[in-house]
Structure 1
C-alpha cells in the first residue's frame, strides 16, 4: 500500500469515521516525515489536526521499523489528552512527568522492551540530570522521530517563551540529518516562524506548512463596562444564557477565586482553576468541564495550551491578556468541533498594571545573573542553598538558572547546580528587543479592544496570517450579539462581593535557612512567645474590588497623605469581623519614612474609633528597610533585622497593659518579615498577643 492509503486508514481509525479525509496540508506533512524524513514546521489553527499528523506519522514509521517518537509537550493537561488520543489511533503513548513518578520504572521497562510508540516528556525533563545523562542518549540512538509541540515556546518572541525549550535546538543539532523532526503550533507570527525554522535546521531544509488561522466557528466581541462590579454583574446576569459550558479567564489567582465564589453564591455551577490548584484536583476539574458537569471553570492561564474540549461553547475574559497572540491561543479552546462558539472580552482598568507586573518579574537582570554565577563558584549548590546566597525568590531564581543553563554558564547536576566556567555576557540588546516587542503586543491588544476593524481579522494580522479577512460574525462586522443589560440584583451581589474586606496574614513560624550567613542570629522554628498572631489586611493589591483603590494608593510616585475615611471604614469592618480570642487594648505602628502620614493617621484613627490606647510607634534604630519587591526570605529578613526597637515610652505603655493584646499597624505586607521582627520585639517587651493589621497584601 502507499503512504497515502496507510495514512488514510490510520486517520479513519483515529477519528472513528469511515469517510474521514485529510485537511489541506496534513497528508503533505505526513509524507514529508515518513517518506522524506524531513524537518517540518506546521503552523495551523487550533482544531486543524496537528496531533493527527504526528500520531499517524509515528504509526507509519513504526510499521516501517523505526524507533519510538519523542514528543516534547509543555503541560500535563496536554499530555493527558495526547495519551488518550494516541490510544484511539492505536498508538502506544506513555508520559514521564512530575505527576507520575510512580510509573517511571514501568515506563523505562516498556521502552527497553520496545513497547512504546510515543514517549511524552516536558521540556524541563530534558535537563533532569538522570534523564539527560542516562536515558536520553540511548533514546536518541533509537528515536524514530522528534516532535516539538507548542513550538512557539522555543522562541524568545513567542508569547509563552520557556527557557527549557531552547535546549531543543541543541538536541536537534545532534540528530542525524535523516531523522524526521516535526514542530507544531497554532500561535506564531512571522518572526516566531522564522526563529523556530532556524532552530530546526538550515535555511531551506525546513518544510513550513502554514494555513489560515481564521476560526469560522468563533463569534468574537468586546464589551467595555465601567468597572469590576459591572463585569461581574454581567456574568451573574448572563452566564446561564451562554451556550454549553466554557471557560472564564481571569488575570490573577485571587480574581479567579473571588469570581468563582461569587458565581457559585449566585447559583452557577463553576469552579476555580489556577496555579494553586492541586494537580489531582486539576485533572478532576478538567473532567467535570469536559463532561458538562459544570457550567464553567474560572481559570488563570494555568488552563491553556493543550486543554481539549472540542465542543467548548464559550470563552469569556475578565480582563485582557497582554498580547493578541496569547488571546488567540486562549480563545482557540472554544468551538473546535462545533459550528458556533461565543468569545467575549470584558477589559478592565487594572489590566495594564497587571501586564506591567508580570512583564517586569519575568526578565533576568545582569546584576542578578552575575550574582548567581559568582555564588556558585566551584561548589555544587542546591536551589535552596543558592537561594540563601543571592537575593532572589525561588521562582525567579529557578527561571534565571534555566536561562543561564541554556546559555552554558551553569549546569544542573545531581544535587543541584554548578558554574561551568564558560564566560557569560548579558545580552542586553536581546532583552531590550524582547521588552519592546512585549510593549508593542500590549498596544496591539488595546487596539483590538477599541478598533472597529473585524476582530478575527485583527488577530490574524497580529499573527501575520496572509489570509486575514473580515469574518462577518464578530460585533464589528455585524452588530453586538451579546446582551448589555445587567440585572439590578446581580449588580448588588457583585458590589457586595467586591466590597468584602479581610485577607488573612499568615504569621511566619520558621526562620529562613541561610539567614545566619547574613548576620541574622536566628534559625529554626520561631518560638511561639516571639510570634505574631494571624493578622488581617483590607485586601490584596491584585483584588478586583479594593485592589483598585489600593493600587492607586501605592502606585509609584503617589504622594503620602492621611488615610481616607473610606479606607479607615474598611479597616473598621475588618476589625469587626476578625473573631479574635481577646480584644486588643492598644495600637502600635511600624515606622515608615515613605508613608509616615498614612501609617500614623491609620493608627490614630483605629485607636480613636476603637477606643484603644495609642502607644505610638516602634523606634527605627537602623537604616530604613528597603521593603522593595523581590528578594528571597533570608535577604528580606536580614534587611529588617535589628532595625526596630521598643523605646522607653512604648515599653512603659506595654507594661501598663499587663499582657493584653495589641494591634500592630502597617501600610502593606509583602514578605511578612517586617511584621515578624516587629512582633518579636513587642513580645519580648511584654506585649501579649500581637495582631498585625495592614491595608494591603502585595501578593
Structure 2
C-alpha cells in the first residue's frame, strides 16, 4: 500500500471501520484488503478476491458496504450459500455495528419487518441464498426495490459458480443474470478461498468479464484484459483480481492408513481426547456420521452428529455447543461446511476422504484460523472411491429425465407443482428439484406462482459439458488418491491443486517432518469399536400413505393406506452405507463385469448377524411363520435367507409369494420416484393356493423376507397381499436397506 493511499480520506474512514469491526485500536489492513475496498468504493469495479480462510474477506465487504452507505447508497446484497454461514455473518456484522439481516427459509416470519427496514433505510446489509433469487415471491416483491437501491453486490463462496459444483448450487449460475440487471456503477465482489485457474475462469465468465493477466502473490492485483486479446486491453469491463497464497501455516497435516472401519473408529476412541481443543470429525455419509457419533458417545465423549437429517434448531444448538467448547467434536457430513466460523477450531479429522483436494482444502480450512497450530488428519477408507462414484452419478442430470420433464410441462400447458410432475415423470423428488433448477438456469423452465412451466425457448442437452464435468471429477479423484500416497509435502500438494505457485514445503506435515500422530490402538478401544459396529438391525418404517399422483398412473388409490392392509415396522440387517456391515453387504450386492447381479447362498457370518437382529427385535407379537418375496435377480440369496431364518427361529417356512402372470414380464423398478415405484409393483404379487392354505388359521404376524429394501413399495405391496389373504400382521425383514 502506498503512502498516498494511507493519507487518503477513504483510507482513514476505512481503517476506522476496521478497528470498530475488530475491536482493536491497533488493527491494520492485511495486504490487499484496502486495495480491494478502494476498487469497489472508488472505482465501482467488479472484483474477484481469492484468499485463504481467515484472511478477512468478510471485512472487505462489510467495510465497503458501510462506506457505500455513507456515500448515500442503499444496502449491500450478499448472496451466501448456507444458513449456518448466514447466521455467522449476521452476528459478525452486528458486533461491528453493521446493520444486517438475512432472508431465508428459516425466518419467514421476519420478512415483513426486514422489508420495512430496507424501505426505511435502516439496513446496511441483506443476505440471501442463491435459491431465494428465483423464488417467485422474492423475485416479484423484493428484487425491484433491491435492484433500485443496492449499492454493492457480493457473491460469497463464489467457487459455487463454477460448473464443477452444478449439482451443489445450480442457482449460483444465475448470478450473471443478476449482475446484468444491476444499475450501471454498482460494484460487484466475488470472494472464495478455494479456486484454481479453471474455477477462476468460470467465475470471471459468470461475472461477465475476462482477464488474461492475473498477478500471483499476497496483495498483488491485476486490471484485466480479454483472455483472447492483448494483456491490459479489455473488450469488456475490467476486473480487479486479488489472489493470495493459499498455504495455511497453522495446519499440521497427516494421513493415517488403517485396515478397516473398526480400526479407524478405535483410533478415534483412543486418541480423540488428545487432539487440541474441540473440532470436527467429518464422515462421507449420514449413516457413518450418526454411527460414529453414537459409538463415541457410548465411549464417554461429548459429541453430536450434524448431518442433512439434523433439524435446523438442532443444528443451531450443535454449532453453539462447538463454538462454546461444550463438545469435543461435531461428527458431521459436508452439511457443516463453508463459512462455519470458529477461529480457534483445534482439529479436523476425516473418516474417509472427500472426492477432491479442493473439497478437502475447503473442509480442513475450518481449523486453525486464529491459532498457531491445528491438527488435520485423514483416515481414508477403502470404500471411498465407491462412495465418490455414487454421489457423482446420482446427481448428474440425464438427457432422458430432462426431456421427460420438458415434455410433461409442455403437455400440461399450465404451471405444474413438483408433486404433479412426480406423477408424470419417473424421477425422485430430490433429483427432480435439482433438475428443475438446472433447466431453470438454462432458461428452459421458469418457476412461477403455482409451480413450474416450460419457457418454450430452444434447449438442448449439453452432453459435452456434462462429460467435461465427469472427466474433471475423475481427475480430482485421482489427485485425492495421490494426496493420500504422500510423496510430496501435503500442504504444498493442496496449494498446487489450487494453482498456487507460491507454495513451499511446510516443514510440519507427516511427509516433511514424519508422523506426528500415534498409530497404535489398544485392545479395549478395538473392542469398543467392534462392538459398536457389529450392532445389527436398522428400522424399516412402513408406508402409511399412497403417493400423490398414483391415480394419474391408472391406479385408483390415494390418501392413507388402510391399517388392515399395512405392514408393521420392519428391520434390515444394515444400510449399504453403514460403517459396520455396509462393506460386507456391498460385496454381496456387487455385480459382475457384465453388470449382472451376483447370486449366492447367504454367507454364514451374515446369516448369523440376521439371526441376531431377530433376537433383539422388540416386536409386539412373535412371528408365526416366514414368507419370502420372489426375486428375479437374486433368488438363491432370498430363498436361503428366508429358509435360514425359518430354521434358526424354529418358525415354519410358509413359502414364497407368486409373481402375477401379467407382471412376470416386467421387472420391479428401482430408483424412480415414489409414485412410479409404487405403480411398478402394483399387482405384481399374489398369494398362491398353497400359501393361502398355510396362512389360514394362523394367529400372529408373518415375517416377510427380501434381499434389498429401497423405496419400500415392494414390501408394502407384498405385505398388502398377505394382509388381504388373511395374515394378521406382516413384519418386513431385509438383508440391506438402501441409503
TM-score with structure 1 setting the length: 0.99
The equivalent of 2:465 in structure 1 is 430
The reply on whether 1:649 has 2:690 as its aligned counterpart is yes
The equivalent of 1:639 in structure 2 is 680
The equivalent of 2:380 in structure 1 is 347
The reply on whether 1:691 has 2:731 as its aligned counterpart is yes
The equivalent of 2:332 in structure 1 is 299
How far off is 1:91 after superposition?
1.1
RMSD of aligned C-alpha atoms? 1.1
Contact 1:388 1:635 in 2 (8 A): yes
The equivalent of 1:110 in structure 2 is 117
The equivalent of 1:594 in structure 2 is 633
Structure 1 CA distance for aligned equivalents of residues 343 and 598 of structure 2: 51
The C-alpha deviation readout for 1:535-557, integer Å capped at 9, x for no partner, is 11000000001001001111232
How far off is 1:173 after superposition?
1.8
Contact 1:224 1:346 in 2 (8 A): yes
SS in 1 for 2:731: strand
How far off is 1:159 after superposition?
8.5
How far off is 1:160 after superposition?
7.3
Structure 2 CA distance for aligned equivalents of residues 631 and 244 of structure 1: 45
The C-alpha deviation readout for 1:530-588, integer Å capped at 9, x for no partner, is 11110110000000010010011112325211111111111100000012122111111
The reply on whether 1:175 has 2:208 as its aligned counterpart is no
Contact 2:167 2:395 in 1 (8 A): no
How far off is 1:401 after superposition?
0.3
The reply on whether 1:582 has 2:621 as its aligned counterpart is yes
Contact 1:152 1:161 in 2 (8 A): no
How far off is 1:306 after superposition?
1.1
Structure 1 CA distance for aligned equivalents of residues 166 and 25 of structure 2: 38
Structure 2 CA distance for aligned equivalents of residues 629 and 331 of structure 1: 36
The C-alpha deviation readout for 1:584-622, integer Å capped at 9, x for no partner, is 111110001110000011111111121211111111111
Structure 2 CA distance for aligned equivalents of residues 479 and 187 of structure 1: 27
The reply on whether 1:257 has 2:290 as its aligned counterpart is yes
How far off is 1:660 after superposition?
2.5
SS in 1 for 2:68: helix
Structure 1 CA distance for aligned equivalents of residues 259 and 35 of structure 2: 50
Contact 1:625 1:640 in 2 (8 A): no
Contact 1:159 1:326 in 2 (8 A): no
SS in 2 for 1:335: coil
The reply on whether 1:96 has 2:103 as its aligned counterpart is yes
Q: Structure 2 regions of 5+ residues with no counterpart?
A: 1-7, 211-223, 225-237
SS in 2 for 1:636: helix
How far off is 1:348 after superposition?
0.5
Structure 1 CA distance for aligned equivalents of residues 126 and 181 of structure 2: 19
How far off is 1:88 after superposition?
2.2
SS in 2 for 1:157: helix
Contact 1:216 1:471 in 2 (8 A): yes
The reply on whether 1:240 has 2:273 as its aligned counterpart is yes
Structure 2 CA distance for aligned equivalents of residues 11 and 221 of structure 1: 36
The equivalent of 1:122 in structure 2 is 129
The reply on whether 1:34 has 2:50 as its aligned counterpart is no
Contact 2:632 2:667 in 1 (8 A): no
Query: For 1:6-25, what aligned pairs fall within 5 Å after superposition?
Result: 6-25=13-32
Structure 2 CA distance for aligned equivalents of residues 445 and 70 of structure 1: 36
How far off is 1:623 after superposition?
2.9
Query: For 1:225-624, what aligned pairs fall within 5 Å after superposition?
Result: 225-377=258-410, 378-557=413-592, 558-621=597-660, 622-623=663-664
Query: For 1:43-54, what aligned pairs fall within 5 Å after superposition?
Result: 43-54=50-61
Contact 2:279 2:347 in 1 (8 A): yes
TM-score with structure 2 setting the length: 0.93
Structure 1 CA distance for aligned equivalents of residues 667 and 515 of structure 2: 50
Structure 1 segments, 4+ long, off by >6 Å, are none
Of the three residues 62, 65, 72, the one matched with 1:65 is: 72
Contact 1:624 1:643 in 2 (8 A): no
Structure 2 CA distance for aligned equivalents of residues 169 and 101 of structure 1: 27
How far off is 1:175 after superposition?
2.1
Q: Please, which moves more after superposition, 348-357 or 674-683?
A: 348-357
Q: Please, which moves more after superposition, 662-671 or 575-584?
A: 575-584
Structure 2 CA distance for aligned equivalents of residues 661 and 160 of structure 1: 44
How far off is 1:629 after superposition?
4.0
Contact 1:593 1:624 in 2 (8 A): no
Contact 2:80 2:157 in 1 (8 A): yes
Structure 1 CA distance for aligned equivalents of residues 422 and 598 of structure 2: 34
How far off is 1:487 after superposition?
1.8
How far off is 1:201 after superposition?
2.9
Structure 1 CA distance for aligned equivalents of residues 358 and 668 of structure 2: 35
How far off is 1:627 after superposition?
4.3
Contact 1:39 1:201 in 2 (8 A): no
Structure 1 CA distance for aligned equivalents of residues 664 and 43 of structure 2: 69
The equivalent of 1:137 in structure 2 is 144
How far off is 1:520 after superposition?
2.0
Q: Structure 1 regions of 5+ residues with no counterpart?
A: none
The reply on whether 1:630 has 2:665 as its aligned counterpart is no
Contact 2:669 2:677 in 1 (8 A): no
Contact 2:147 2:183 in 1 (8 A): no
SS in 2 for 1:485: coil
Structure 2 CA distance for aligned equivalents of residues 159 and 99 of structure 1: 24
The equivalent of 1:661 in structure 2 is 701
Contact 1:229 1:491 in 2 (8 A): yes
